[in-house]
């Protein structure tokens, strides 16, 4: 799936509306995701061209994914599911579109959401790169939701910002990663991405000594969790998509403890 997304980068048809740095700063200061003000310029034809290739990738996965794709094809042939009108509407604030479509098709909502993100992700990544600074340092943005699309983070990256002065202790920063558009931004405090609680005692976490670079951060107030990777303790470079898959055992642990994920996915 990741290889297909990378291979399609030069074939995507995306023309994001130009946004000047001053406009970005104004939106971020107001707490308004950029998508609420500006047109991402994603062409529906480009989404539809990638759609069958992603379905083929999922077909080669396992029985659950293969059966889901077969059900999607039957619904498309019957006219009860129309990708041409459905895919271009996929945004984090339109999660009901996935819920309703999954009910009509008769498949798991998480599987459909994952397939939709596989198709839309490379397009939205182009939008994010066009609108946000590459540094990921967005000091005007104080919210845990994505500054580009308003989505919830899928992963938190802990990283030390080292100073040239050896006497200054490195500052540990929390970088949020959006699974919808690949935006990366810092959050200055321990704030729950779901309910935005900052109350003392609400922020909790689990970890094991066998995997010191991984942990689960969760909110005692709303029981939502997010997976965390401490890159200072990891020998491998961070690839968010791969980390989401290779840390699936953390999701199983969270489920056993009755914690809830921020986003529905396979």
- State the Cα angle at 44 between 43 and 49, rounded to 5°: 105
Q: How many C-beta atoms surround the C-beta of residue 110 within 10 A? A: 16
Cα 222 from Cα 192, distance rounded (Å): 9
Q: 238 with 229: CB under 8 angstroms?
A: yes
Please report how the helices 109-131 and 63-78 are oriented relative to each other, as an axis angle in degrees rounded to 10: 80
Give the homologous superfamily in CATH for domain 155-261. Answer: FdhE-like domain (3.90.1670.10)
The DSSP symbol for 42 reads: B
Give the pLDDT mean for 133-157. Answer: 83
pLDDT at res. 120? 92
CA distances (Å), 79 to each of 75, 82, 237, in order? 6, 6, 44
Calculate the CA 170 to chain-centre distance: 27
pLDDT digits (tens, 9 = 90+) for 168-212: 666 788 888 998 898 988 876 677 888 888 888 888 888 888 888
* Residue 211: both structure tokens together: 């995997």
* Residue 12: both structure tokens together: 């995507």
Give the pLDDT mean for 2-30. Answer: 89
Cα 155 from Cα 6, distance rounded (Å): 20
The DSSP symbol for 160 reads: E
pLDDT at res. 71? 96
The DSSP symbol for 50 reads: H
Q: 224 with 261: CB under 8 angstroms?
A: yes
Query: Which segments of the chain belong to CATH 3.90.1670.10?
Result: 155-261
Cα 54 from Cα 113, distance rounded (Å): 13
Residues 6+ apart with CB under 8 A from 247: 214, 227, 229
pLDDT digits (tens, 9 = 90+) for 94-137: 889 999 999 999 999 988 988 898 899 999 999 999 999 876 67
């Amino acid at each position: 799936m990741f290889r297909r997304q990378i291979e399609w980068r030069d074939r995507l048809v995306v023309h994001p509306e130009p946004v000047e740095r001053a406009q970005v700063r104004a939106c971020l200061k107001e707490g308004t995701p950029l998508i609420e003000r500006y047109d991402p310029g994603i062409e529906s034809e480009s989404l539809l061209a990638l759609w069958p290739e992603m379905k083929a990738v999922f077909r080669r996965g396992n029985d659950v994914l293969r059966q889901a794709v077969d059900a999607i094809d039957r619904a498309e042939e019957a006219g009860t599911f129309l990708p041409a009108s459905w895919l271009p509407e996929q945004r984090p604030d339109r999660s009901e579109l996935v819920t309703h479509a999954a009910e009509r098709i008769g498949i798991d909502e998480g599987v459909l959401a994952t397939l939709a993100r596989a198709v839309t992700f490379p397009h939205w990544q182009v939008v994010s790169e066009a609108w946000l600074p590459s540094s990921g340092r967005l000091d005007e943005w104080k919210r845990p939701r994505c500054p580009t699309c308003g989505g919830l983070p899928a992963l938190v990256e802990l990283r030390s910002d080292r100073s040239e002065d050896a006497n200054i202790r490195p500052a540990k920063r929390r970088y949020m990663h959006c699974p919808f558009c690949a935006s990366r931004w810092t959050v200055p405090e321990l704030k729950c991405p779901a309910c935005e609680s900052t109350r003392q005692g609400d922020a909790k976490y689990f970890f094991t000594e066998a995997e010191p670079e991984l942990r689960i951060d969760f909110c005692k107030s709303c029981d939502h969790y997010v997976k965390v990777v401490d890159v200072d303790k990891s020998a491998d470079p961070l690839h968010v998509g791969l980390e989401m898959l290779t840390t699936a055992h953390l999701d199983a642990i969270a489920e056993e403890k009755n914690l809830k994920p921020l986003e529905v996915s396979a």
